[in-house]
Amino acid sequence: HPGAMKARAVQVWLLFGARLLCQSNRLSLGGLMPLLAGELGLSIQAKGQLLAAFPLGYMFTQVLGGAASDRFGGKPVMALA
């Protein structure tokens, strides 16, 4: 069905754009950390916690999203994401 394929292509491009934005934020944070730390007065521990928050967020959302997808199905979970 052509309409379904078009909708699927839109979904793929939206997810691609969201992932690209998330990755660009993650990658730019390391390079901007010296400026952020100086501006905000962050300690070494605070900088480490901030940089560690990204992979922890991925881990928790993947586990929770997978469990929710198993329970409720993929479409409702992706609609909320």
Report field, pTM of the whole predicted structure over 0.75: no
DSSP 8-state symbol, 43 = -
Contact 54, 63 (CB under 8 A): no
Whether the predicted pLDDT of 74 surpasses 80: yes
Exposed / middle / buried, residue 77 (Cβ in 10 Å: 0-12, 13-18, 19+): middle
Dihedral Cα 41, 32, 64, 18, nearest 10 deg: 140
Chain segment 8-35, per-residue pLDDT in tens: 899 999 999 998 998 898 888 888 999 9
